[in-house]
Amino acid sequence: MSDSSRPGSANSNDTFNISESLVPPRELKTAGQSQVSFDGLLQQPLLLKEDLKEGCGGQLWPAGMVLAKYLLRRHQSTLVDKTIVELGAGGGLVGLAIASGCKIGPSPIYITDQSPMLSLMEANIVLNSLSSTVQAAVLDWGEPIPNIIPKHPDIILAADCVYFEPAFPLLISTLHELLGPDSVCYFCFKKRRRADLRFLKIAKKAFQLSEISDDPDAETYKRENIFVYAIRSKLGTNSKNIARC
């Protein structure tokens, strides 16, 4: 879970036209299995296979841990009757944590990523006996949303999806497709370089962004340059139909 990359410095005068690198370096772990309980928020620890042979999404990253812990703490009982989709799920950490520790249903949680991650997502669903509440699916950013995915889901989860700059417009496009007037995306990322702030600048033009303000751990993870936002469509929201940040 450690990450040795250093965020690039930035200030209000930066134009964000040039990034320091397209893919910042990350410290990778060997394949194995992790067990996480999120400081006791889960009664039964979550088991996660980690395997990097298909890409860096195959291991746990700090933003996923932060987002899962926030949702388990603050939205344990507010997700009932919500349709939920996780983007860039990797092994499925956030979606599986929510399925294990929050009140959800009757719709399953859809954890999605590119096709190389599908078998790892499916293996982790089975490993945690969550086949009845979680479904894995392939969703390529920038491509048409598969029919299996709910149209305009109530809740979208995205953790550590900001690390590959050429994918920024694809992610923005997919968020445009998924976000309905009553949708909210809980978006967590670790700022590693100036390009990450460029993504925020683009997202603020396209959507309504508000930084999460009700997380008691916020001051701790902000020191590690990790941030959590609620992203909504500019079409407007109905506060009765979405979980509030």
**Binding-site annotation, residues for S-adenosyl-L-methionine:** 61, 88-90, 113, 141, 159
Q: Residue 146 is encoded by which pair of tokens? A: 């598969």
Task: Find the DSSP H helices in the chain.
Answer: 62-74, 93-101, 118-127, 168-178, 194-206, 218-222
93: amino acid identity, one letter: L
Distance in angstroms (rounded) separating the CA atoms of residues 35 and 51? 14
On whether the CB atoms of residues 125 and 134 are closer than 8 A, the answer is yes
SS (HEC) of 30-50: CCEEEEECCCCCCCCCEEEEE
Give bridge partners of residue 17 from the DSSP assignment: none
Tokens 């890409």 appear where? Answer: 55
Strands 32-36 and 46-50: antiparallel
The CA–CA distances, whole Å, from 22 to 25, 30, 162, 209 equal 10, 23, 11, 24
Residues at the annotated binding site?
A: 61, 88-90, 113, 141, 159
